[in-house]
Amino acid sequence: MTARAAAKSGFLWGMIAGLVLVGLMYLAGAILGLRPLTQALNEPLLSIMPGFVFGFLIDTLQHAGKVVEEAGLIVAMVMALGVLGAAWSVSELRRPFAHSALVFAGAGWLVVVLILLPIAGLGLLGLNDGFTTPIEWAVLFVAYGMVLELSASPEPAATDLQRRRLLGALPLGIGAAALGLTGLLRVPNWYGAIANAPGSGLTGPSPAITPVADFYVVSKNFSDPVVDGSSWRLSIGGMVDHPQQLSLSDLRGLPRTTEIVTLECISNDVGGPQMSTGSFTGVKLSDLIAMASPQSSGSWAAFKSVDAYAESLPLSLINGQASIMVVYDLNGSPLPTGHGFPARVLVPGHYGMKGPKWLQSIDVVDHESGGYWEQQGWDHNALVKTTSRFDVPVDGVILRMGAIQLAGVAFAGTRGIGKVEYSTDGGRSWSAAALDQPLSPLTWVLWHAAWTPAAEGSYTLVVRATDGAGSLQSASNAASFPSGSSGYHTVRIDVSK
């Protein structure tokens, strides 16, 4: 066998063995709690991914973005293990039986536990996740090596056709079984992330307050942290005279306030669903910081979360805007895990990236400490842009002649909404829509109108809003990166008898 043929055969068997390792990795995750490498590497991957690339993925793929990322990491992992298999096969060709496949598997294990797991923040050998982590990875690579060894089985005699056919089908059978195991363990989660994304069940005009089950969720994590509320503590320190350690019961025992607020993700596309309104209960952030007696040289508050998310806000903003809170309830119930239980920061008028979830610490500092997304090029101010959208009718629908309901929402952060206008001729002429009274100065406005087309045909509907200060929303189309999307939401409909 030539070196090229050996490399091709080894690469194929290496990928098959890689599929086995990946399938067993996810199985170990489900049974033993092992963190899959594809998920552990999410954090360092995002840290080096240019912000505009992430913005493009979010704008284009929305909730499918994480699925594509994880699937891509699986492919990369299998390909890398295929290369390892090719190296082993060529080595065996040059010095037969001098290098056991388990030796090369051991090299792969060393790369994972000495390089990749530390890069992922799991410490040397992955011991931050438990002392069994390197042992579990060793077992996975033993399985990888054993599958590689199958390719070195002696060729059957030419007359032994049944055995030859069996060995020929073996790689496909092993690969299919491993791929099936991975699919069984991951595809339901991927389907749920896309098809059952929060808000996907809502149809028709938006309610004034979004049900918790439909409240949008965006997270940088493949797997969000699950925090034990009984042992959780919120530390307030840094440049203060009286550092604080507050339990959840301590936080709930402080004077509370409730605000109805609309939150929007900075990655929300024009007309997109990543915007929701809820009733939040918590403690004014200025009151919490005052409890710790900040020193005069402190000018910023730096936040850290359980999932290593970071953000910061100037104390001048915190002290001047009483609606900035640390909240623990959403719509009258404790924050769900996906929304940051036990507590998160709420910053009305700014995109959701400024309000860390799973809050762990607040430190008074003398400089802007830099937020997680700002370090990748996103706008550090993250002020909400004026936006408006159609909830009904939806794009591409065919409607019968007669009165047609137009409805949607408009939002401009703390500036409020002064006017919403709609066009039924692609923006050549505009009509004013009726506005419902907003539930608070911090929420969206529900707008509606009744329109009767003059004739059958295709129509292009457009909506725009003017904020409370009299500024018209931007008509210039822009993607979400780096400071939020802009442009007019447009839907196209057909009207027939």
Q: How high is the pLDDT of residue 63?
A: 67
Question: Hey, where are the domains in the chain?
Answer: 3-195, 212-376, 387-496
Which tokens belong to 34? Answer: 């092992």
Which positions ≥6 away from 79 have C-beta within 8 Å? 15, 18
Determine the angle formed by the axes of helices 133-150 and 3-32, rounding to 10 degrees.
140
Residues 6+ apart with CB under 8 A from 440: 259, 260, 261
Contact between 174 and 182 under an 8 Å Cβ cutoff? The reply is no
Helix and strand element counts for the chain (H, E): 12, 19
Residues of the chain where predicted confidence (pLDDT) is lower than 50 = 98, 157, 159
Specify the DSSP class assigned to residue 73.
Answer: H
Look at residue 81 in the predicted model and tell me its pLDDT.
95
Q: What is the structure's pLDDT at 65?
A: 74
Question: Phi, psi at residue 73, to the nearest 5°?
Answer: -70, -35
> Which of helix, strand or coil describes residue 488?
coil
Structure tokens belonging to residue 157: 């005699």
d(Cα 334, Cα 348) in Å, to the nearest integer? 19
- Beta bridge partners, 450, equal 405
Q: What is the pLDDT of residues 77-120, one digit of tens each?
A: 999 999 999 998 888 776 665 458 888 999 999 999 999 999 98
Distance from C-alpha of 151 to C-alpha of 90, rounded to nearest angstrom: 12
Q: Domain 212-376 belongs to what topology?
A: Sulfite Oxidase; Chain A, domain 2 (3.90.420)
Q: In this structure, how many other beta carbons lie within 10 angstroms of the beta carbon of residue 375?
A: 12
Neighbour tally for 184: CB within 10 Å: 13
Q: How far apart are the C-alpha atoms of 425 and 414, rounded to whole Å? A: 31
The whole-angstrom separation of Cα 429 and Cα 280 is 39
Helix or strand or coil: residue 310?
A: strand
Query: Given this model, what pLDDT does residue 42 score?
Result: 80
Ramachandran bin of 200, using left for φ above 0, alpha for ψ from -120 to 50, beta for the remaining angles: alpha
Percent of the chain with pLDDT over 70: 92
pLDDT value at residue 169: 61
Pairing verdict, β 398-400 and 417-423: unpaired
Q: Please answer whether residues 371 and 313 qualify as being in contact, where contact means their C-beta atoms are separated by less than 8 angstroms.
A: no
Question: Would you state the structure tokens that stand for residue 178, as one six-digit string?
Answer: 């491993």
Nearest-angstrom CA–CA distance, 39 and 77: 12
For the whole model, what pTM was predicted?
Answer: 0.81
pLDDT for position 456: 92
Q: What's the rounded Cα separation, in Å, for the pair 38 and 36?
A: 5
> What class has domain 387-496?
mainly beta
